[in-house]
Amino acid sequence: MALAFAGFFGGFGAFLLVAALGAVGYGVGRWLDDGGQLDDVPRMFSRARR
């Protein structure tokens, strides 16, 4: 429903922005529900391999 409102009132760019933010929110929510911790975030983006 949010995508429909964004597309109708804001155009295609707003539609894509809302879709991308929704996908990111869904992914973060799934990760946190599966036991992800905030302490894991720096390790995910660090380049050093152990």
Condensed to tens digits (0 to 9), the pLDDT of residues 2-45 reads 999 999 999 999 999 999 999 999 988 898 898 888 888 788 77
Q: How many domains would you assign to the chain?
A: 1
Q: Which residues, including other chains, have CB under 8 Å from residue 29's CB and lie 6 or more apart?
A: none
Tokens standing for residue 19: 């879709």
5 found inside a domain:
yes
Domain of residue 14 covers 1-29
45 found inside a domain:
no
pTM of the model: 0.68
24 found inside a domain:
yes
pLDDT at 41: 79
Helices 2-10 and 12-33: crossing angle in degrees, nearest 10, is 160
pLDDT at 43: 80
Residue 47: pLDDT over 80: no
